[in-house]
Amino acid sequence: MLLDDEETAMLNGEQGKVLQMAMRHQIQVGEFFGARDFVPVTQAHIMADTESLGQAGVMWLERLSEFGDGRHTVRIPTITDPRGTDFSKASDLGQRDWMVELERRTIHAFERLGVSMTDTCINYQTVLAATRGEHVAFGDTGVVIYSNSVSGARTNFEGGPSALSAGLTGRTPRYGFHLDEKRRATKRFRVDFTPRTLNEWGALGGVIGRLAGNYWEVPVIEGIEAAPTSDDLKHFGAAMASYGSIALFHIIGITPEASRLEDVGGDALPVHHRIGRAEIEALTASYAVAKQVDVVVFSAPQLSLYELRALADLCDGRTFKVPMLAITSPQVAPDAERFGYTRRIENAGGTVLAGMCFYQSYAREMSEAKGWKTLATNSAKLVNILGGYGYTPMLASMQACIDAAVTGELA
């Protein structure tokens, strides 16, 4: 790879051991993907849950922070994805002391490196949305696909060490979705049904993700007849990334790079697949394998303030028979309390959690500790993941999920 003078100095150790380690890692990644040089980035976002890091990952972070000794910290704004627990409610979730201690060690190491512990997968709704053409280094798949597609920013999926290295060096290898040619549409989809609810938007994203099928595919979608909200696109993109590893999509007339089909090369592509209500309902039905519900979860992605408001409206006058968890970001949580949404949800028997994400929070251990097997949610991303954690997940609307929390059964 071609290096400028500053990058060469970092690689040679002239700016300290931490930056040398970061630059060595980034060069390995860049050479693997055929990057010619580096591109400056303005923000970084790190996957930081301790379930993924494990003891070895946390020890690596601690060693890195000790090398820096507080002097070599991130040089661009660098934030974190959800962590593995809400400290105030860890015992209620059946999480053990060692899990909480691992979180505390991780936070200490990140803070020594200058990382801001935002603990959110919806930074584009709460912290600072990247803008069109801005090069960033983001880790969470939902964050990446939203930032690339809806914001028009430029990022690849960055693994934890890569995102942290980008925060330290202010650079990332120039490959993939940082390049104009990789942002052109590769598969064209025609949608004959515009979703109305968040679970339908997620299901549509899941269908397209499965059909597109790999990270380097860029779906272009035509036929959406109403302007989606930020929450609609959040669930749509998160599910597409989960089912198909997709990092970028275009919706004609809606996303910033695709005012017209020809803007992204979609006019040169045949229609790969037509998608209607039947395909969306089929994906939903594939998870409808039980009636009894042990727990209702709203998570993955974290809930926006507007989602919590809608949830609070549905909770008024209700009493839950089974646990209901609503998970949001630390930035949204204080406003939810200030506006009374948290109180209304918890008056019905629900629990509002902040800073974590259900599937990144020792979901299998929670299942074993609490006896949870069947789970209802309106997140298509979450149902796609939770089968691997021993759950029987079911996809339904927010209304149907709240009804299930009341009755213990999904209608």
What DSSP assignment string belongs to 269-304? S-EEEEE-HHHHHHHHHTT---SB-SEEEEEEEEEP
- The interaxial angle of helices 198-212 and 277-285, nearest 10 deg, is 90
Is residue 132 a contact partner of residue 256, using CB atoms and an 8 Å limit?
yes
**Chain centroid to CA 134: how far?**
19
Helix, strand or coil, per DSSP, at residue 353: strand
The domains of the chain are located at 5-180, 184-284, 288-407
Q: Vertex 201, ends 268 and 355: CA angle to 5°?
A: 120
List, as own/partner pairs, every contact residues 66-69 make where C-beta atoms lie below 8 angstroms and the sequence separation is at least 24, other chains included. 66/112, 67/16, 67/17, 67/18, 67/21, 68/16, 68/17, 68/18, 68/112, 68/113
Q: Vertex 303, ends 123 and 364: CA angle to 5°?
A: 100
R_g over Cα of the chain: 21
66's tokens: 């000790």
Reference 44, options 141, 132, 168; nearest CA is: 168
- What number of CA atoms fall less than 13 Å from residue 340's CA on the CB side? 4
Phi-psi region of 170 (alpha: psi -120 to 50; beta: other; left: phi over 0): left
Q: Do domains 5-180 and 288-407 have the same CATH topology?
A: yes
Is residue 333 a contact partner of residue 411, using CB atoms and an 8 Å limit?
no
CATH topology of domain 288-407: Aconitase; domain 3 (3.30.499)
List, as own/partner pairs, every contact residues 96-99 make where C-beta atoms lie below 8 angstroms and the sequence separation is at least 24, other chains included. 96/365, 99/50, 99/362, 99/365
Which residues are registered as beta bridge partners of 292?
409
Pairing type for strands 219-222 and 187-191 reads parallel
Pairing type for strands 324-328 and 137-138 reads unpaired
The label of the residue with tokens 């979609």 reads: 266
Distances (CA, A) of 333 to 87, 103, 323, 355: 14, 20, 19, 9
Reference 212, options 246, 262, 237, 235; nearest CA is: 246
**Full 3-state SS string of 15-32:** CCHHHHHHHHHHHHHHHH
User: The domain at 5-180 falls in which architecture?
Assistant: 2-Layer Sandwich (3.30)
The label of the residue with tokens 């109305």 reads: 196
Q: pLDDT tens, position by position, for the chain (411 residues)?
A: 999 999 999 999 999 999 999 999 999 999 999 999 999 999 999 997 888 888 999 999 999 998 865 667 999 999 999 998 888 888 888 888 888 899 999 999 999 999 999 999 999 999 999 999 999 999 999 999 999 999 999 999 999 999 999 999 999 999 999 999 999 999 999 999 999 999 999 999 999 999 999 999 999 999 999 999 999 999 999 999 999 999 999 999 999 999 999 999 999 999 999 999 999 999 999 998 889 999 999 999 999 999 999 999 999 999 999 999 999 999 999 999 999 999 999 999 999 999 999 998 889 999 999 999 999 999 999 999 999 999 999 999 999 999 999 999 998
